[in-house]
């Protein structure tokens, strides 16, 4: 198999795409779409988001040192894109996208009511890396929409139809292909198709 070598770049795709809601010290709210987000620690629960310093929400997070990560869905795809290409300096993204502000329990930033999961976060450290600065934050509260609970009372994010971002495009997740550890679980008699 032939491979081309390219200059170093970020080709780690697909990525989770999230809407991050923020509130500045003057009480102004905004939403920024972030695809550079990830889990970094289980105990304490921590995640990171990376944002360019020139983005409007960057200053808001830097000052308030808190934000909410709102998971996105196929139904929220248009709003997700809009909140990534329009500046909060110019428009009220909550109003334009008809998104519902919901009070968070541990931070001042609002949650997005239509998101299936909201993660309230408090910034612990800012790493100034280059084109993007990374906000390392502790998750201080999680809210899950009861509409996505299954018959056993377990939260089923797949029912929300989450989306991912891959090199300039949004994709839905079509179906489950396995569960953690399925490759090593003892299997009953396997049948092979010809």
Q: Based on C-alpha coordinates, what's the Rg of the chain?
A: 19
Tracing tokens 């490759």 back to the chain, one arrives at 183
Burial of 11 (0-12, 13-18, 19+ CB in 10 A): exposed
Number of domains in the chain: 1
In angstroms, rounded to a whole number, what is the distance separating the alpha carbons of residues 123 and 145? Answer: 24
Q: Is residue 162 part of a domain?
A: yes
Q: Is residue 3 part of a domain?
A: no
Q: Is residue 71 part of a domain?
A: yes
Q: Is residue 24 part of a domain?
A: yes
Beta pairing partners, 170: 165
Average pLDDT estimate for 45-58: 97
Q: How confident is the model at residue 103 (pLDDT cuts 50, 70, 90)?
A: very high
Q: What is the pLDDT of residue 161?
A: 94
With a cut of 70, say whether residue 24 has pLDDT above it.
yes
With a cut of 70, say whether residue 192 has pLDDT above it.
no
Q: Is residue 100 part of a domain?
A: yes
Range of the domain at 139: 15-172
* Domain harbouring 36, CATH code: 2.30.110.10
Q: Is residue 47 part of a domain?
A: yes
With a cut of 70, say whether residue 115 has pLDDT above it.
yes
Tracing tokens 């100034």 back to the chain, one arrives at 128
């Amino acid at each position: 198999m032939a491979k081309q070598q390219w200059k170093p770049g970020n080709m780690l795709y697909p990525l989770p795409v999230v809407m991050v809601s923020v509130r500045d010290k003057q009480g102004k709210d905004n939403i920024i779409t972030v695809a550079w987000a990830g889990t970094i620690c289980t105990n304490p629960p921590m995640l990171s988001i990376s944002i360019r310093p020139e983005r409007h929400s960057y200053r808001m997070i830097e000052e308030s040192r808190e934000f909410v990560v709102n998971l996105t869905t196929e139904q929220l795809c248009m709003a997700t894109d809009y909140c990534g290409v329009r500046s909060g300096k110019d428009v009220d993204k909550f109003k334009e996208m008809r998104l519902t502000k919901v009070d968070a329990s541990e931070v001042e930033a609002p949650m997005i009511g239509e998101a299936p999961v909201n993660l309230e976060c408090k910034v612990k450290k800012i790493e100034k890396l280059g084109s993007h600065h990374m906000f390392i934050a502790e998750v201080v509260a999680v809210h899950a929409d009861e509409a996505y609970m299954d018959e056993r009372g377990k939260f089923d994010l797949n029912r929300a139809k989450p989306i991912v971002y891959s090199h300039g495009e949004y994709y839905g997740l079509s179906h489950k292909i396995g569960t953690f550890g399925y490759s090593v679980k003892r299997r009953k008699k396997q049948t092979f198709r010809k």
